[in-house]
């Protein structure tokens, strides 16, 4: 039976409760260790090779931009440029590597270069924001579109296909034979379909042999007339 409760402080500054017979010490809350989060590897951006002193694309052909003072030049260079301006300049650099001539803007090689720039931009974004489903969908659609263009280019102009892959750093892999996961049910169904197909082909072959063995009615009529003539 509890006769009384009194709270005090122990020798180490901890609260002590007396309950008649003995006393107990209230322990502080336990500090459970948190799970260590692994740091993501830093992904190198495709825009990292653009120097900040490079002029923007619309001011590159202006001669006065080269002789402007430092403050104006900072506004005209990539130092204060937005991400979209840098990405547009990078896309033009990739196009310049694979285009057929200076006026080429619609060939297969140019389309592959534009899609490559977009895909790498999506990959950099998804590396930071892994749960962005919309951009992931757009990236997969761009990858499928580039696969079709590379497949067409490989069939029609193989030398241009190799040049594009080498200049843009693309590793072309052949698509798998089957896209779906080979489960037990699917394998059993496939084996059954193959077995049924072979049985049907076997029956058709037997029917063809029977048709060849039986004489045709046109050949049977002369034989009957010859037999009646001899009688």
- Would you report the helix, strand and coil content of the chain in percent, each value rounded to 5? 55, 5, 35
Residue 28 pLDDT greater than 50, yes or no: yes
Tokens 């009688």 found at? 231
Sign of CA dihedral 176, 177, 178, 184: negative
- Domain boundaries in the chain? 48-81, 91-200
Cβ atoms of 115 and 153 within 8 Å: the answer is: no
Around Cβ 218, how many Cβ atoms within 10 Å?
7
**For the segment 191-224, what is each residue's pLDDT rounded down to a tens digit?**
999 999 999 999 999 999 998 888 766 655 555 5
Sign of CA dihedral 193, 194, 198, 204: positive
| DSSP assignment letter at 121 | H
- Find the range with the poorest average confidence among 44-53, 56-65, 89-98, 103-112: 56-65
**For the segment 164-199, what is each residue's pLDDT rounded down to a tens digit?**
999 999 998 887 776 777 789 989 999 999 999 999
CATH class of the region 91-200? mainly alpha
Q: Model confidence at 31, in pLDDT bands (50, 70, 90)?
A: low
pTM across the whole model: 0.61
**What is the spatial distance between Cα 145 and Cα 58, in angstroms, rounded to a whole number?**
29
**For the segment 121-180, what is each residue's pLDDT rounded down to a tens digit?**
999 999 999 999 999 999 999 999 999 999 999 999 999 999 999 999 999 888 777 677
């Amino acid at each position: 039976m509890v006769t009384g409760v009194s709270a005090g402080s122990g020798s180490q500054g901890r609260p002590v409760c007396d309950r008649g017979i003995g006393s107990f010490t209230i322990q502080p809350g336990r500090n459970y260790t948190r799970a260590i989060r692994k740091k993501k590897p830093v992904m190198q951006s495709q825009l990292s090779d653009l120097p900040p002193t490079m002029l923007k694309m619309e001011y590159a052909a202006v001669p006065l931009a080269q002789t402007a003072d430092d403050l104006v030049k900072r506004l005209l260079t990539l130092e204060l440029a937005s991400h979209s301006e840098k990405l547009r300049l990078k896309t033009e650099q990739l196009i310049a590597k694979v285009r057929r001539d200076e006026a080429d803007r619609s060939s297969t090689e140019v389309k592959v270069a534009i899609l490559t720039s977009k895909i790498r931009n999506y990959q950099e974004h998804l590396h930071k924001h892994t749960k962005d489903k919309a951009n992931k969908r757009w990236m997969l659609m761009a990858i499928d579109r580039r696969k079709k263009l590379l497949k067409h280019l490989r069939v029609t102009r193989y030398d241009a296909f190799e040049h594009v892959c080498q200049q843009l750093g693309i590793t072309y892999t052949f698509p798998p034979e089957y896209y779906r996961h080979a489960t037990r049910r699917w394998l059993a169904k496939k084996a059954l379909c193959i077995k049924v197909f072979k049985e049907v082909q076997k029956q058709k072959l037997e029917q063809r042999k029977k048709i060849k063995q039986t004489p045709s009615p046109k050949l049977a009529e002369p034989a009957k007339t010859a037999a009646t003539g001899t009688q």
